[in-house]
């Protein structure tokens, strides 16, 4: 018995006129057919607390719509160790129908932000909020995830920074 994949079913719908497709696939339906989350394998989020600290967040997008979509921009808020870090992704990226793709953002940490993260380590909880804006032939739409909890962060050099902070407090006393 031969099975038909979802992308083949979607191709059968493409012959419909655009005004019917717009009724079938409104903005809400399109946003429900696009899955966005942090990358499930390897390192989803890494935070480096060296003197020139930085962070990187990897996202995965699964386009389950029958249409090609373009990520126009994304706005990310990342809370880690009592610090809120904001970042924007402004590189237009195309995701074909049925494609599983990725995008990433990276940014710099100030010394005070790295100190705060180190002070709260290892109890620091990490959460993400993101809003992604997409372009599509039918509708432009957006997807919001206001509180992605349970983000596994790979901390680098945080124990050394925490020890240095604790030593400086002891010597100041």
43: helix, strand or coil:
coil
Query: pLDDT 10s per residue in the chain (173 long)?
Result: 444 455 666 666 667 788 888 888 889 999 999 999 998 878 899 999 998 899 999 999 999 988 899 999 999 999 998 899 999 999 999 999 889 999 999 999 999 999 999 999 988 789 999 999 999 999 999 999 998 888 889 999 999 999 988 887 777 66
Assigned token pair, 119: 């002070």
Helices 111-120 and 158-172 cross at an angle (nearest 10°) of 90
Q: What is the pLDDT of residue 98?
A: 87
Distance of CA 14 to the CA centre of its chain: 30
pLDDT at 3: 43
- Going by their DSSP bridges, the two strands 45-48 and 153-156 should be labelled as parallel
How far apart CA 127 and CA 44 sit, in angstroms, is 12
Residue 1's pLDDT is 41
Q: What is the pLDDT at residue 5? A: 56
pTM for the full predicted model: 0.87
Give alpha helix (H) positions in 15-141. 18-24, 27-32, 111-120
3-state secondary structure 10-38: HHHHCCCCHHHHHHHCCHHHHHHCEEEEE
Domain annotation for the chain: domains and CATH numbers: 6-168 (2.60.40)
């Amino acid at each position: 018995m031969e099975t038909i994949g979802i992308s083949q079913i979607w191709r059968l719908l493409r012959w419909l006129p655009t005004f019917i497709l717009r009724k079938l696939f409104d903005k809400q339906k399109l946003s429900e057919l696009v899955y966005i989350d942090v990358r499930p394998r390897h390192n989803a989020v890494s935070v480096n607390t060296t003197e020139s600290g930085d962070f990187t967040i990897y996202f995965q997008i699964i386009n389950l719509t029958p249409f090609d979509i373009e990520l126009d921009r994304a706005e990310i808020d990342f809370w880690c160790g009592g610090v809120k870090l904001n970042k924007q992704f402004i590189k237009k990226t195309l995701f074909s129908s049925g494609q599983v793709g990725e995008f990433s953002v990276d940014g710099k940490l100030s010394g005070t932000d790295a100190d705060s993260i180190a002070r709260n380590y290892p109890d620091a909880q990490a959460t993400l909020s993101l809003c992604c804006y997409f372009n599509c032939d039918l509708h432009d739409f957006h997807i919001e995830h206001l509180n992605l909890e349970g983000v596994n962060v790979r901390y680098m050099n945080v124990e050394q920074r925490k020890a240095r902070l604790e030593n400086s407090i002891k010597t100041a006393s």
